[in-house]
Each structure stands twice: as C-alpha cells, then as structure tokens.
C-alpha cells in the first residue's frame, strides 16, 4: 500500500474513533476513576502498538471483579477497541 493510501486509512480510522468517542464520552467519564478519553495507540505492557483505539484514562486501575457491571469499561464500543491506561491523578498548577 502506498503512503497516500496509508494516510487516508489513518485519517478515516481516526475520524471514526473520534465520532464514537464523542457519542460515548459522557458515559465513559461518569465511570469511577476515569479522568479523560482520547484517540491514541493501544498499549500492551506499557508499549505502544500500531493499533488505534479509544483510550480511556484512569487515575488508577481497579480489577474488574471489584467493579459493578455498570462501572466496568467495555473492551469495545461499537467496533472500536478500548484501551484503559492508568495515568495517575491529574491536578492543575
């Protein structure tokens, strides 16, 4: 695949994930420990991959078995993978 086609695919995928993010942002931000949502690259063991995802940032991760079903963040929304990333507490200076 050529560079122009790759760029178009990346743009299209990013726009799709952004629309899904906008549609579900309020729902995600209402869950415990969630401090932000963004479009970014999925991480595995702290290393970025080439897979774009809807990144849900939390101040700290909680094991799913300690959360009620309505508090859990799904692995996918629509057809978009969700990556929960622990970023710590956010504070303004």
Q: Within 10 A of 1 (CB to CB), how many other CB atoms are there?
A: 7
Predicted local confidence at residue 6, as pLDDT? 72
Please state the rounded mean pLDDT for residues 42-47.
Answer: 89
pLDDT at 50 over 70: yes
Would you kindly state where each structural domain of the chain is located, as residue ranges?
Answer: 3-86
74-86 pLDDT, tens digit each: 999 999 999 999 9
Spatial CA neighbour of 44 closest among 83, 79, 75, 17: 83
Sign of CA dihedral 23, 86, 47, 65: negative
Reported CATH class of domain 3-86: alpha beta
Burial class (CB in 10 A: 0-12, 13-18, 19+), 73: buried
Q: Which helix (H) or strand (E) holds 82?
A: strand 80-86
The residues near 35 (Cβ < 8 Å, ≥ 6 apart) are: 57, 58, 59, 87, 89, 90
pLDDT at 93 over 80: no
Please state the rounded mean pLDDT for residues 12-31.
Answer: 96
């Amino acid at each position: 695949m050529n560079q122009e086609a790759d760029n178009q695919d990346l743009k299209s995928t990013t726009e799709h994930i952004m629309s899904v993010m906008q549609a579900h942002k309020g729902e995600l931000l209402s869950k415990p420990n969630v401090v932000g949502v963004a479009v970014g690259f999925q991480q595995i063991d702290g290393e970025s991959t080439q897979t774009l995802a809807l990144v849900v940032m939390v101040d700290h991760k909680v094991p799913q078995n300690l959360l009620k079903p309505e508090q859990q963040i799904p692995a996918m929304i629509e057809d978009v993978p969700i990556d929960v990333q622990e970023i710590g507490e956010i504070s303004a200076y």
